[in-house]
Amino acid sequence: MSQFKDQVVLITGASRGIGEAIAHQFAAEGAQVIVSSRSQEGVDAVANAINEQGGKAAAITCHNGDRESREQLIARTVEQFGQLDVMINNAAANPYFGNVLDMGFEAIMKTIEVNIEGYFHMSQLAGQQMRKQGSGVILNTSSVNGRTTGYNQSLYSASKAAIISMTESFAKECAPFGIRVNAILPGLTDTKFASALTQNEAMLKMILPQIPLGRVAQPEEIAPAYLFLASEAAKYITGVSLPVDGGYLA
């Protein structure tokens, strides 16, 4: 299939986990995928794998918490490919797992810079290009934690709630330019990012009973939501936050 043929799709946080799965699935649908994260080795590995499978992928590093790095990412994408059709903000930071009263200031700032400032500014930069084109889609990875705070994940949860609000604001203000903006709320997923939970038997015993489907998701099960919201099938959908969580928020 090739529903995204001739479209340029940029994915941050794409060197592993959900971002990597998203990149593979968009490439399988004909998109030109730009794989981005802080790790050159990581993005090269994903892009090379996609190209070896017959897809089209390029690797561009970006530190989502750094203004200049974000600006360079969008500029290089447009310079190299001439357009930007789908922007997927998926990079995230969760440097602290513990009681809210003991969170250090460095961890506070890193979470804010990547999860809030990074998403907002990247959406601005992508949206400015899409406004010139007259169309585009921005998708933000929030979390079920944006709806119900995760234990020992206070600021991470607050940042994911901010992404939901940000998504709704951008959706309203960008709609006149033909830009749709939506968020995806993954539940607990088997990734390195979530290993503090998925590799903790005590936490799993507490969390799994709250998931009606009774198990942790795989990244490949989260990625199709992004393809749907970026597709023509969702052309009248903007401003939504779609949980993909096995029923956790039900």
pLDDT in tens, 228-244: 999 999 999 999 999 99
Domain boundaries, the chain: 8-244
Say how far apart CA 14 and CA 224 lie, in whole Å.
15
87 φ, ψ (degrees, to nearest 5)? -110, 120
Whether this prediction's pTM lies above 0.85 is answered by: yes
Q: For the structural domain made of 8-244, what CATH number should be given? A: 3.40.50.720
Under DSSP, the state recorded for 180 is E
Pairing of strands 32-35, 8-11: parallel
pLDDT in tens, 155-210: 999 999 999 999 999 999 999 999 999 999 999 999 888 777 777 888 888 889 99
Is 226 one of the catalytic residues? Answer: no
Q: Which residues have C-beta within 8 Å of that of residue 173, sequence separation ≥ 6? A: none
User: Which residues on neighbouring strands pair with residue 186, listed in sequence order?
Assistant: 244
User: Which residues on neighbouring strands pair with residue 163, listed in sequence order?
Assistant: none
Choice among 156, 226, 236, 248 that is catalytic: 156
